[in-house]
Amino acid sequence: MAEMAPWRLDAATAERLHRVARAEQWGVSIDTFTRAVERGVRHAFAGDPPDPSQLERHLASLRVEDLALACGCAAGHEGAWEHFIREYRPILYRAASALDPTGGARDLADALYAELFGLTERDGTRRSHFEYFHGRSSLATWLRAVLAQRSVDRARASRRLAPLPEEEPASGGDAPAPRSADHGRFVALLRTALVAAVGRLAPRDRLRLACYYAQELTLAQIGRTLGEHEATVSRQLAKARKTVRADVERQLREAGLNEAAIAECFAAVSADPGPLDLTDLLEPAGGKNPETGRST
Amino acid sequence: MDELRRNDAFDHELRRALAAGGGAPSGAHVDAEVAAAWIERRLDAAAQRAVETHLADCADCQTMLATLARISPDGDAVSGEAVAWWRRLRAGWVVPAAVAAAAALVIWVAVPQQRQAPESTQSRAVPPPTPAFPDAAAPAATAPEADRKAANQPAAPAPPSAPSTVAPQTTLNVERRDQRADTSAPAPTQQPPAAAPPAPAPAPPAESDKGSAKLEAEAPAVDARRERFAAAGESPARPASPSQDAAGGVTSRALDSLARVAPTRPSPLVIVAADGAARWRRTGGTLEFAPRGTAPFSATALPIAADAISAGSSPGGTVCWLVGRAGAVLVSADGLTFTRVTAPAPVDFVAVTAIDARIATVTASGGRRFRTTDAGATWSPQ
């Protein structure tokens, strides 16, 4: 990949960040730290030189102490590694344990740990995964995010290789209930209206609904994720759901359906198993409690 | 079709539509770095909105985000350690608190002159309690949430603005009741150069040794914990408050007294089972046990003084492991009767992580860790 624009951090800012980050304690020189900050800026702004106000906000939001620690670890500084092992490795393994309490995600954490140490080599030099940490979040959250990403990737890969369930042979036992001539039309009408209604919500409302209904997060988890109080999540979910339902029924009425026909629409989707439910196949690793079927 | 079934059908279809994604997501997929920065609200406003818009329509990125949310501890990285506490204060309760303080000041100044008109303060309305989710017309939606709450939620959720818990390892399973903490963490096969046991004494606080902001964040962290205890109907075992002068301030004599007493007073200890049911707490010189959230506490039988206990861990049910000073390692299967097991070394222990009644990992004050898989009969260093 071509080198990005030759943007450089000015010396005074670099010295200030280096001091604030207390990078000296991990043996990180100003030059090394400056290169790490510049790498992060280029990554954040996709190579475009940031304007001064953007740059100021970006630099102010950096977790410079965590970035200094990552630089120290990437360089193999003994004290930095001791600190990381003491403070952050438990976080990594707790996250793996939360992903899969039976220990199934431990190898993911081990692999990430090895990459952080820098087992992979390129051009004869050790490459540490710490180089991908740019200080835009805390090191702890970044570690969890990397682990979460890998867990999802692995779950997807394994499910792509899993055989599809065999079709149940048709038996004469439970014959499907006879469907009305309008069954297919009712199902399609309601589903189309529902997609349109959800699409008209604000992105945050859609995300909140998806977190609750599709991802099955708890209200507390959604609240932490979106930075909202649990009660706010609850109220906004109820409000969005009510809005969507009212919108759907309005669309059905505008399509010429009366109340009885609208009720038939709901009955039709209730009786319709639908296509293969991809959410069951793509359930995130560690997301379901095997005993309860609920999200953990 | 009755309303209940109609609600069921609607929720089912809503779930299906949302799981399929809302359409063509805008922008690039969210990688781990951006997800971490977004969830900590560290992106600028435009970038924050752009990521949110993408997440709203991208089922793949939602799955990653949900996984991250599940493995993030309560009140920790997601919202706590990311944002400086004064920012949260500004955005949160500081405004009404400042208004209340100003009102109190006005009343304090005005009341001596207007004692005849106290109704100005008595007429203040108490805000109604927060309504619970979902709307009354949606019983189908309330049931899953009730299930989730019963299965997953702590009795009193931490406020989303709870700052980073600067918690030493010994209090992990005390503060985070719904987190299956596994601190055993045996070293991977590839050891870094500095894999030696960590230095014992100046152990920095877990996860957020972030300079001065950390110290400033400790006060709201303690408050958040107290709120959690209070909301759960428990009284956190705070140290006895020193005497205060009439103005509410702590006198220097009281501070001196507190300084003399503090080293000898055991720190609060509350252990909550991983499934959130059973609890243990140290009150005075005894350790008490409650098998369920609403059950009364009763004293346990301990072969050592309760003050000698430094940490505990319960993997669920009534199983509980305790560790403490001078090689104290105890285990109980019924929650009430603790048996002392052979310690791996005659040292002080500061942490324990239990998997079940037979498997546990204890951490010595020097950082060494030992694991048993046979209820303490044998130990192997980690």
Distances from the Cα of B186 to the Cα of A97, A129, A277, B210, B381, angstroms: 13, 21, 39, 26, 9
Instruction: Name the residue in chain B with its Cα closest to that of A212.
Output: B15
Determine, for residues B53 and A228 on separate chains, whether the beta-carbon distance falls below 8 Å.
Answer: no
Chain A partners of B134 at a C-beta cutoff of 8 Å?
A: 234, 237-238, 241
Sign of CA dihedral A90, A96, A102, A104: negative
**A267 confidence band (pLDDT: 50, 70, 90):** confident
Tens digits of residue pLDDT in B321-366 = 999 888 899 999 888 888 898 888 888 888 898 888 889 999 888 7
> pLDDT tens digits for B115-164?
444 333 333 333 333 333 333 333 333 334 444 444 343 333 333 333 33
User: Which chain B residues contact residue A152 at CB under 8 A?
Assistant: 60, 63-64, 67
Least confident of B34-48, B82-96, B286-300: B82-96
d(CA B297, CA B306): 15
Reading the block at residue A265, the tokens are 């629409």
Contact predicate B375/B355, CB 8 Å: no
Q: What is the pLDDT of residue B233?
A: 39
CB contact under 8 A, A151 and B67: yes
CA–CA separation, A105 and A68 (whole Å): 28
Q: What are phi and psi of B298, to 5 degrees?
A: -135, 155
Answer whether B69 sits within 8 Å of A217, measured CB to CB.
yes
Predicted local distance difference test score (pLDDT) of residue A275: 52
Say what the pLDDT of residue A165 is: 55
pLDDT the model gives residue A19: 94
Looking at residue A279, its pLDDT comes to: 46
Instruction: Residue A263: name the closest of A190, A213, A177, A193 by CA.
Output: A190
Mutation choice for B interface testing from A58, A66, A94 by most B CBs within 10 A: A94
- CB-based contact B18 A296, cutoff 8 Å: no
Q: Say which amino acid occupies A293.
A: G
Q: Nearest CB to B36: which of A141, A211, A228?
A: A141
Question: What letter represents residue A194's amino acid?
Answer: L
* pTM recorded for the entire structure: 0.53
Q: Nearest residue on chain A to B353, judged by CA atoms? A: A94
Is B297 a residue whose pLDDT tops 80?
A: yes
Closest by CA to B108, choosing from B244, B245, B247, B243, is B247
Q: Do A87 and B37 touch (CB under 8 A)?
A: no
Mean pLDDT of B192-219: 36
Residue B80 to residue B224: CA distance in whole angstroms = 11
**Partner-chain contact B192 A242, CB within 8 Å:** no
- Given a cut of 90, is residue B216 above it in pLDDT? no
Q: Which residues of B touch A146 (CB under 8 A)?
A: 32
Tell me the three state secondary structure of residue A105.
coil
pLDDT score at A160: 64
Is residue A117 within 8 Å of A65, Cβ to Cβ?
A: no
Percent of all residues in chain B with a pLDDT value above 90, rounded to a whole number: 11
CA dist A9 to A12, A37, A136, A138, B34, Å? 9, 8, 17, 22, 22
CB contact under 8 A, A224 and B69: yes
Tokens of B62: 């939602």
Pairwise CA distance, residues B381 & B344, whole Å: 8
Contact present, B369 and B363 (Cβ < 8 Å): yes
Crossing angle of helices B45-57 and B59-71, rounded to 10°: 110
Chain B environment of A228 (Cβ under 8 Å): 160
**B190: closest chain A residue by CA:** A114
* Cα angle for residues B339, B274, B302 (degrees, 5° grid): 20
Per the model's pLDDT, the better-predicted residue between B350 and B104 turns out to be B350
Contact between A88 and B207 using a beta-carbon 8 Å cutoff: yes
φ, ψ of residue B301 in degrees (nearest 5): -100, 115
Q: Which of B231 and B325 is assigned the larger pLDDT? A: B325
CA distance B343 to B352: 12
Q: Strands, E, within chain A: which ranges?
A: 121-122, 125-126
Chain A residues in contact with B32 (beta carbon < 8 A)? 142, 145-146, 148-149
| Lowest-confidence region among A107-121, A172-186, A228-242, A275-289 | A275-289
ipTM of the complex, rounded to two decimals? 0.82
**To probe the interface with A, which of B34, B52, B65 has the most A CB atoms within 10 Å?**
B65
pLDDT at B153: 39
pLDDT per residue as tens digits for the range A209-252: 999 999 999 999 999 999 999 999 999 999 999 999 999 999 99
The verdict on a CB contact (< 8 Å) between B185 and A93 is: yes
A124-150 CB burial, b ≥16 within 10 A, e <16: eeeebbbebbbbbbbbbbbbbbbbbbb
Shortest Cα distance, chain A CAs vs residue B58, angstroms: 9
Residue A109: list chain B partners with CB under 8 A: 188
> How close B248 comes to chain A (CA, Å)?
32
pLDDT tens-digit series, residues B233-275:
333 333 333 333 333 333 344 444 434 444 444 567 888 888 8
The residue type of B238 is: R
Closest-CA residue of chain B to A218:
B148
Least confident of A119-133, B46-60, B202-216: B202-216
CB pairs under 8 A between A and B: 335
8 A C-beta contact, residue B288 and residue B297: yes
At A179, the pLDDT band (50, 70, 90 cuts) reads: low
Q: A137-161 pLDDT, tens per residue?
A: 999 999 999 999 999 888 888 776 6
The structure tokens listed for B189 are 């096969």
CB contact under 8 A, B56 and A204: yes
User: Which pLDDT score is estimated for B35?
Assistant: 94
CB-CB under 8 Å, A190 with B19: no
Cβ separation of B133 and A235 shorter than 8 Å? yes
